[in-house]
A and B are shown apart, each in its own frame.
Chain A
Amino acid sequence: MKVRNQDGEKLDLLTVNIGPSHPATHGALRAFVALDGEMIRAAVTEIGYLHRGFEKMVEQGTYQQVLPYTDRLNYCSAILNNIGFSHTVERMFEVEIPERATVLRVLLSELSRLIDHQVCIAAAAVDLGALTNYWYLFNPREDVYAIWEKLSGARLTNAFTRIGGLYRDTYEGFEDDVRAVLPKIEKGLDDAFRLLEHNRIFIDRTRGCCPVSAEQAVSWGWTGPCLRATGVDRDLRKDDPYLDYETYEFQTVVGSTGDTYDRLLVRMYEMRESLSICRQALSRLKPGPVNTPDARLSLPGHDKTYHDMEALINQFKLVYEGVRAPAGEFYGSIEAANGELGFFIASDGTGKPWKIKVRPPCFTQFAAYADVVEGSLVADAIACLSSLNIIAGELDR
């Protein structure tokens, strides 16, 4: 493409597609760029390669049937999506879930956050050629997936929460498994830290790479680690606490320059805080019910269903008609691994949602991507992309 720049100089730009199917685009994202040598002069992005009509599909079934769909949003931390959705519907009912369910949700949230950050950091390091970190980070992640399998029967698509609590209580030995996996995650994290934090090559590749200022990040609607990397100390767990997060001791981690280095390091330090929250949650775990006794939300249980007519009717109505959320419109959100995960629900009072709109955190980050990478090198654009942690499942819905 022949162009003339501001100085009147003629340039012959090369147009190149980065993605949609490329190992460095982690999923299916497409950036169409105009290159001057290795410099990106202009970029436009296209999304939707993984669009499967989440918001249309969820209007067809009951509220309970939405839950498995939420697994497929951010598939690197499926349980966080389950919790976000269940929590939003429970807030429409203004129902509190039992103590054990709350603590377990915190524990599962933080474990999910840990494995989500592991994916992001490991993949980002691989994109920079630092392959060893991948094994240090991914081996303990596999152990978490072993826990997920025992807990829910599934590795990636757990659908472990229910509206009003959890699918079921934990298995025997769950706490020991979690206690055993935390030091492994910590060891892997420490190893990766030692390999990366002061690594000259890593620093050269990521420091000053695609920086984003705080003002830009706020206008782009960024939340979560990418916003905190720009120096803005915001975290829904602190600012608008849910699941009793205000009673846990942890710090939010902030960066200073908002470059790729900060975005990755913020995630690494956040993993330390998540490990600490996991330990605190473990120490609080006491036996008890994991589902609210509220008959509007929870199934009555087999012992009652088989012997009590009222309970049978209750079970039937809940399964066939769905949870009947009060008519109205509500937006609820949690701090997912990538930022604010919101569900905007419009209910007409029946068991089927009238409309559910997801507010995926990485949507805002990828919207800014073209702007962020213009003026940088192709290799930097790849490093930047992996530090933004775009998950096509929630981006495209």
Chain B
Amino acid sequence: MTSQPVDLDKVLTPASAEGRKEFETRAFASLQSRFEAVMDPRDRWGLTAVVPARLLRESVRFLRDDPSFLMDLMLDITAIDYLGYPGHDGARFGVVYNIRSQRFGSHRLRLKVWVEEEDPVVPSVHDLYRIADWQERETWDQYGIVFEGHPDLRRLLNHVEFAGHPLRKDYPVRKRQWLSTNDPMILPLEARLQARGFQVLEHVAANSPSVEETGLLGKPAVEKVNYVEKAK
């Protein structure tokens, strides 16, 4: 495990309005002085701190490990596409991290990283929270945000043959795609075996006749585009 041991028996301070206010002031001051954070005015109910992508990992790690914060629960990672958002001027995507603490009820905040459309890359935090692995995969799948350093950035909810990123505002709602085969998942399985100390001597035979036809076996799933647009 990469996170520091969690002393979970410690009495939790329940959430309170004063506690939240105090936490938000303190957290923002720390993030501002250490990680060039600025307040996001869109969050009028709590604290959203915008940090630069290059300082994201350090700020997440700081919030997780600092004894006065201990934000040990990564609730959710997602992105927002601001294409066409009224009055929005700036980067197209905001990648959003909802974090809270299991120790202090009042500790919850949101981190946001602005991401340009041309270069949608943010550093991965999969090694800081294990759940971030899937959360980042989902965000890649739905928005096309690349999480640099993620070991296995594959689609999560959409089909392996799916092309495009459906939650982007310019993805048509009624667009249809023809998806033909299953995901063999042989490469990820071999990777897991290797991670557990096994040496793979002979690759498994394709588990479905269609796999070889589609050429899915030897390629990373994300690169493969094999679809037919049925309807506009």
Interface string of A71-111 (1 = CB under 8 A from B): 00000000000000000000110000000000000000000
Per-position binary interface string of chain B over residues 1-19, scored 1 when its CB falls under 8 Å from any chain A CB and 0 otherwise = 1110110100010110000
Knowing A2-B201, A6-B197, A346-B80 are in contact, say whether A219-B192 is a contact too (CB < 8 A).
Answer: no
Question: Using a CB-CB cutoff of 8 Å, which residues 230-265 of chain A contact chain B?
Answer: 231-234, 238-241
Q: A3-B199, A47-B157, A354-B85 are in contact. Are A367 and B173 (CB under 8 A)?
A: no
Question: CB < 8 Å: which of B105, B131, B200, B203 contacts A239?
Answer: B105
Residues of B within 8 A of A346 (CB): 42, 80
CA distance A218 to B55 in the complex (A): 24
- CB neighbours of A359 from chain B (8 A): 75-76, 98
How distant is the Cα of A4 from the Cα of B200 in the complex, in angstroms? 7
User: How many residues from B make CB contacts under 8 Å with A?
Assistant: 65
> B200 touching A1 by the CB < 8 A rule?
yes
Give the shortest distance, in Å, between A28 (CB) and chain B (any CB): 12
A370 lies within 8 A of chain B by Cβ: yes
- What mask results when residues 386 to 397 of chain A are scored 1 for a CB within 8 Å of chain B, else 0? 000000000011
Q: Which chain A residues border B130 with CB–CB below 8 Å?
A: 216, 219-221, 367-368, 371
CA distance A44 to B74 in the complex (A): 22
> Counting chain A CB atoms within 10 Å of each CB, which of B8, B42, B158, B166 scores highest?
B8
| Contact of B73 with A by CB under 8 A | yes
Interface residues of B in 68-89 (CB under 8 A from A): 72-76, 78, 80-81, 85-86
Bound CA–CA A357/B15 (angstroms): 23
Chain A interface secondary structure, helix, strand, loop or mixed?
mixed
Q: Are A44 and B189 in contact (CB under 8 A)?
A: yes
- Judge whether A51 and B157 touch: CB under 8 Å: yes
A218 in complex: contacting residue of B98, B102, B108, B200, CB < 8 Å: B102
A42 within 8 A of B: yes
Residues of B within 8 A of A396 (CB): 157
A239 touches B199 (CB 8 A): no
Known contacts A219-B130, A331-B75: does B157 contact A214 (CB below 8 Å)? no
Partner pick for A42 among B3, B43, B193, CB 8 A cutoff: B193
Rounded to whole angstroms, the CA-CA distance of A374 and B200 in the bound complex is 17
Given A221-B129, A354-B85, A357-B76, CB of A344 within 8 Å of CB of B6? no
Q: Say yes or no: B166 contacts A5, CB within 8 Å.
A: no
Given A2-B202, A51-B157, A374-B196, residue A232 in contact with residue B8 (CB < 8 A):
yes
Query: Residues of B with Cβ closer than 8 Å to A?
Result: 1-3, 5-6, 8, 12, 14-15, 40, 42-46, 48, 72-76, 78, 80-81, 85-86, 96, 98, 102, 105, 108, 110, 129-131, 133-134, 142, 155-159, 166-167, 171, 173, 183, 185-186, 188-190, 192-193, 196-204, 207
- Across chains A and B, which 10 residue pairs bring their CB atoms closest together, nearest first? A221-B131, A2-B202, A240-B15, A42-B192, A1-B204, A367-B134, A2-B201, A48-B157, A4-B199, A6-B197
